[in-house]
């Protein structure tokens, strides 16, 4: 390992990563890791200190003796380097006492007086705060990240970021097992899970806009935000958050040209691939466990396989629910209203109709490429399992409720001109939270307030409430982030889906703006904006009705190029899952008591629901809705809508809509994971 080395620390999602470069290029660490492993195994006690002579012999001249430190020497040096301590909103909020040299804080807001850009990091040097600006060279401060941008993506070699992330995964991998288990419902109907193995002692407390997330999981569990495209079934990352060419809104995201073709990236979240097992263990309990390395009894997660079924180091889930940009392109990006079905005619350009049902989504997402689709069943299953693992409960709404108890509609109390506010009674305004989103529409002579009508959104759709102000003793105005408009006696305010990008209000990778459990805000789960106030339709599966008992069989494909809306084609080309769904009661919510995992097809579905004792706080604590049809097909609708309350959650599944049915409450998420089968 002799040579010119620099160690750099990169701020990816407020998580610090140390990287080693040799002469400007990443080194191949496989030999070194083997040497270290041999070295450790040669000692009876791994905590013992290795002498320089022993290390020199074992490393076989890979380093000069004078360059090798003992374990205690390394620990002493690392302990005096930078330590991430937390995040503050403003420079003025930095602590003034109890500081240690090397303490690092992230500052959310810019401060030109102190040379702070939004998102900058500062380190305490013993006297004052040094601005790190996102990259720290331990030998010199270097605020110019053009070199890393050029190395990772230069427009001609799109594999460089993939290689970078492959190396990152290798450096972050832990050898442990992380698991949870729970009793069969008939034995114990509690929603709680018991953490197992190396998962014991790990926890996450989700953040809000004012409270930072607390998270002691190893960094490999954290997702990383990125811009990405898909070419012929291969995801290509064009930027990582923190790079100068990274963007989040459509205007910020930079198009890329590869082989003469220009592509529009989306905003995604990178998740490192894992190995899993799921089922009833030797104790007679259900167990979900995962490992970062292959182990006996564990299977590679379906999302972690490439087109040929081989291991790939990471997969990407779209960060945002799909919306349309100003060029009428469907995408995952900040600042977009979730695309949904609206009917009727109305003035304004903020209420276009986008019917995001199963059938329509095939053509909608194929406009982006043949391997684009609505999100896969495997993506929703992964999010569920990961939630159970990290939070130790299957009652997801007890931790983060999502935008699921937030269905309000009110006539404005006072007509006004040239304003960006709506006046309501105090009680009405109290029901609508800051940072939630509303539509404003003038219905004129119409009498139907259903949100599916375009006129309910003809002034603004999914505008964010950024403030409230007192009008008089009885009235409060909601201030909206929208251009000025006029209101009349027939103007109505309706709570609505979260507009994409609300994760910027959450201090961490997990949480919700304002309040995690009041049901009025979308959740952020490991960087993914989800449960935004509408169901999300699965893009790769349908449910076939078997008989009048409500039994449903699942047909699924994990190849987006094979997607079809024709039932006969689906039955002849999709895979029929070994799992089926059987409710207890029809035309009603059945609360879920058991989920099973079809490993061959990468999907999870509820296989038992509605048993005695089931409800919103037992078992999986979410609902399964099945209608009373005796034949036909249904689409898979996940998560829940504004008014589903306790029935909603990450495990919630609604099977009441045909595969070509749309509604204002049916949304979709872009996916590029349909590359297998």
Whether residue 368 lies inside any domain: the answer is no
HSE-CB of 535 using CA atoms within 13 angstroms: 32
Q: What is the predicted pLDDT for the residue at 263?
A: 95
Question: What single-letter DSSP state applies at residue 297?
Answer: T
The string of pLDDT tens digits covering residues 472-507 is 999 999 999 999 999 999 999 999 999 999 999 999
Band of the pLDDT at 19, cuts 50, 70, 90? very low
The string of pLDDT tens digits covering residues 615-646 is 999 999 999 999 999 999 999 999 999 999 99
Tokens 């629901």 sit on residue: 609
**Cα torsion for 609, 615, 619, 625, to the nearest 10°?**
30
Contact 523, 402 (CB under 8 A): yes
Contact 267, 529 (CB under 8 A): no
Q: What's the average model confidence in pLDDT over 265-280?
A: 97
Examine the pLDDT at 185 and tell me if it is beyond 70: yes
Domain containing residue 134? 5-149
Question: Other CB atoms closer than 10 Å to residue 330's CB: what's the count?
Answer: 21
User: Which of 133, 149, 165 finishes a domain?
Assistant: 149
Q: Which helix (H) or strand (E) holds 39?
A: helix 30-41
How far apart, in whole angstroms, are the C-alpha atoms of residue 360 and residue 654?
18
Band of the pLDDT at 345, cuts 50, 70, 90? low
Question: Other CB atoms closer than 10 Å to residue 430's CB: what's the count?
Answer: 11
Contact 639, 650 (CB under 8 A): yes
Tokens of 613: 């004792």
Tokens 């040669």 sit on residue: 42
Whether residue 358 lies inside any domain: the answer is no
Longest dimension (CA), the chain: 89
Band of the pLDDT at 85, cuts 50, 70, 90? confident
- Give the residue with greater pLDDT, 233 vs 110: 233
User: Which of 502, 520, 548 finishes a domain?
Assistant: 502
Whether residue 511 lies inside any domain: the answer is no
Band of the pLDDT at 259, cuts 50, 70, 90? confident
Whether residue 190 lies inside any domain: the answer is yes
Pairing of strands 633-638, 535-545: antiparallel
Band of the pLDDT at 47, cuts 50, 70, 90? very low
Tokens of 147: 């070199």
Mean pLDDT of the chain: 86
Q: Is 565 exposed, middle or buried (0-12, 13-18, 19+ CB in 10 A)?
A: middle
Examine the pLDDT at 70 and tell me if it is beyond 80: no
How far apart, in whole angstroms, are the C-alpha atoms of residue 441 and residue 522?
23
Centroid of chain to Cα 440: 29
Question: Is the domain of 383 the same as that of 460?
Answer: no
Question: Is the domain of 118 the same as that of 104?
Answer: yes
Question: Is the domain of 239 the same as that of 282?
Answer: yes
Question: Is the domain of 171 the same as that of 245?
Answer: yes
User: Which of 86, 116, 149 finishes a domain?
Assistant: 149
The string of pLDDT tens digits covering residues 666-675 is 999 999 999 9
How far apart, in whole angstroms, are the C-alpha atoms of residue 22 and residue 28?
10
Q: What's the average model confidence in pLDDT over 605-612?
A: 96
CA angle 632, 633, 637 (to 5 degrees): 145
Examine the pLDDT at 74 and tell me if it is beyond 90: no
**Residue 96 to residues 107, 127, 333, 616, 633: CA-CA distances in angstroms?**
15, 11, 38, 46, 63
Specify the range with the lowest mean pLDDT, choosing from 89-103, 221-235, 245-259, 534-548. 89-103
Question: Is the domain of 244 the same as that of 204?
Answer: yes
Q: What is the predicted pLDDT for the residue at 506?
A: 97
How far apart, in whole angstroms, are the C-alpha atoms of residue 132 and residue 106?
10
Question: Is the domain of 128 the same as that of 168?
Answer: no
Q: What is the DSSP string of 428-445?
A: HHHTS-TT-EEEEEE-TT
How far apart, in whole angstroms, are the C-alpha atoms of residue 468 and residue 465?
8
Question: Is the domain of 545 the same as that of 450?
Answer: no
Whether residue 667 lies inside any domain: the answer is yes
What predicted TM-score, i.e. pTM, was given to this entire model?
0.79
Q: What is the predicted pLDDT for the residue at 2?
A: 37
Q: Which of 138, 136, 152, 140 is nearest to 25 (CA)?
A: 152
Question: Is the domain of 145 the same as that of 215?
Answer: no
Specify the range with the lowest mean pLDDT, choosing from 15-24, 63-72, 232-241. 15-24
Question: Is the domain of 389 the same as that of 270?
Answer: yes
Q: What is the predicted pLDDT for the residue at 30?
A: 53
Q: Which of 67, 113, 61, 62 is nearest to 92 (CA)?
A: 113
Question: Is the domain of 480 the same as that of 621?
Answer: no
The string of pLDDT tens digits covering residues 448-481 is 999 999 999 999 999 999 999 999 999 999 999 9
Whether residue 508 lies inside any domain: the answer is no
Specify the range with the lowest mean pLDDT, choosing from 112-126, 222-236, 282-296. 112-126
Question: Is the domain of 139 the same as that of 37?
Answer: yes
Examine the pLDDT at 516 and tell me if it is beyond 80: yes
Q: What's the average model confidence in pLDDT over 398-418?
A: 97
Whether residue 367 lies inside any domain: the answer is no
Q: What's the average model confidence in pLDDT over 131-149?
A: 42
Examine the pLDDT at 45 and tell me if it is beyond 60: no
Q: What is the predicted pLDDT for the residue at 46?
A: 42
How far apart, in whole angstroms, are the C-alpha atoms of residue 279 and residue 604?
12
Overall domain count for the chain: 4
Q: What's the average model confidence in pLDDT over 560-565?
A: 97
Examine the pLDDT at 407 and tell me if it is beyond 90: yes
- For the chain, state the CA radius of gyration: 26
Q: What's the average model confidence in pLDDT over 305-334?
A: 95
Question: Is the domain of 294 the same as that of 197?
Answer: yes
CA angle 307, 310, 316 (to 5 degrees): 65
Q: What is the predicted pLDDT for the residue at 149?
A: 53
How far apart, in whole angstroms, are the C-alpha atoms of residue 213 and residue 672?
29
Contact 85, 129 (CB under 8 A): no
Band of the pLDDT at 72, cuts 50, 70, 90? low
Q: What is the predicted pLDDT for the residue at 27?
A: 41
Question: What single-letter DSSP state applies at residue 200?
Answer: T
Whether residue 173 lies inside any domain: the answer is yes
């Amino acid at each position: 390992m002799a040579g010119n080395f620099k160690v750099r620390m990169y701020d990816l999602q407020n998580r610090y990563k140390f990287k080693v470069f040799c002469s400007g290029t990443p080194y191949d660490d496989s030999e070194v890791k083997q040497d270290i492993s041999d070295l450790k195994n040669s000692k009876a006690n791994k905590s013992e200190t290795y002498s320089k002579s022993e290390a020199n012999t074992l490393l076989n001249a890979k380093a000069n003796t004078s360059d090798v430190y003992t374990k205690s020497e390394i620990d002493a040096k690392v302990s005096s380097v930078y330590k991430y301590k937390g995040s503050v909103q403003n420079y003025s909020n930095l602590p003034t006492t109890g500081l240690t040299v090397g303490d690092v804080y992230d500052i959310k807001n810019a401060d030109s007086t102190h040379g702070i850009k939004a998102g900058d990091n500062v380190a305490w040097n013993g006297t004052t705060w040094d601005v790190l600006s996102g990259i720290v060279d331990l030998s010199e401060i270097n605020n110019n990240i053009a070199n890393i941008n050029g190395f990772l993506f230069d427009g001609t070699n799109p594999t460089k970021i993939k290689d970078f992330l492959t190396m990152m995964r290798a450096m972050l991998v832990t050898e442990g097992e992380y698991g949870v288990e729970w009793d069969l419902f008939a034995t114990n109907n509690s929603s709680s899970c018991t953490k197992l193995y190396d998962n014991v002692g790990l926890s996450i407390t989700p953040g809000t806009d004012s409270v930072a997330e607390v998270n002691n999981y190893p960094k490999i569990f954290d997702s990383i935000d990125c811009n990405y495209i898909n070419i012929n079934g291969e995801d290509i990352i064009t930027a990582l958050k923190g790079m100068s060419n990274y963007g989040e809104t459509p205007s910020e995201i930079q198009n890329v040209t590869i082989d003469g073709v220009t592509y529009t990236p989306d905003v995604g979240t990178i998740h490192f691939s894992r190995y899993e097992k799921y089922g009833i263990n030797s104790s007679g309990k259900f167990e979900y466990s995962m490992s970062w390395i292959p182990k006996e009894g564990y299977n590679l997660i379906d999302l972690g396989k490439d087109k040929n079924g081989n291991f790939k180091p990471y997969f990407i889930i779209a960060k945002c629910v799909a919306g349309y940009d100003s060029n009428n392109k469907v995408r995952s990006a900040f600042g977009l209203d979730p695309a949904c079905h609206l009917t009727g005619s109305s003035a304004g350009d903020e209420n276009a109709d986008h019917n995001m049902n199963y059938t329509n989504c095939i053509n909608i997402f194929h406009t982006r490429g043949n391997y684009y689709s609505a999100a896969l069943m495997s993506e929703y299953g992964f999010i569920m399992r990961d939630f159970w693992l990290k939070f130790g409960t299957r009652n997801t709404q007890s931790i983060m409720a999502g935008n699921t108890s937030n269905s309000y509609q009110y006539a404005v109390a006072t007509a006004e001109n040239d304003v960006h506010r709506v006046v309501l009674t105090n009680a009405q305004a109290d029901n609508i939270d800051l940072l939630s989103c509303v539509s404003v529409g003038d219905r004129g002579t119409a009498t139907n307030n259903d949100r599916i009508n375009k006129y309910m959104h003809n002034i603004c759709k999914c505008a964010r409430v950024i403030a409230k102000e007192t009008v008089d003793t009885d009235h409060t105005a909601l201030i909206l982030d929208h251009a000025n408009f006029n209101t009349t006696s027939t103007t109505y305010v309706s709570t609505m889906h979260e507009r994409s990008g609300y994760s910027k209000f959450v201090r961490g990778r997990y949480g919700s703006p304002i309040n995690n459990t009041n049901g009025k805000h979308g959740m952020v789960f490991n960087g993914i904006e989800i449960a935004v106030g509408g169901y999300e339709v699965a893009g790769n599966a349908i449910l076939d009705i078997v008989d009048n008992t409500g039994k449903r069989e699942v047909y699924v494909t994990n190849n987006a190029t094979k997607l079809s809306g024709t039932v006969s084609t689906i039955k002849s080309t999709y895979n029929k899952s070994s799992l089926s769904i059987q409710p207890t009661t029809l035309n009603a919510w059945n609360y879920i008591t058991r989920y099973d995992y079809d490993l061959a097809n990468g999907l999870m579905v509820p296989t038992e629901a509605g048993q005695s004792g089931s409800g919103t706080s037992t078992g999986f604590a979410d609902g399964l809705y099945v209608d009373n049809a005796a034949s036909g097909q249904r689409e898979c609708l996940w998560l829940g809508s504004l008014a589903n309350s306790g029935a909603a959650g990450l495990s919630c599944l609604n099977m009441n809509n045909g595969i070509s049915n749309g509604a204002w409450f049916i949304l979709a998420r872009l996916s590029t994971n349909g590359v297998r089968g």
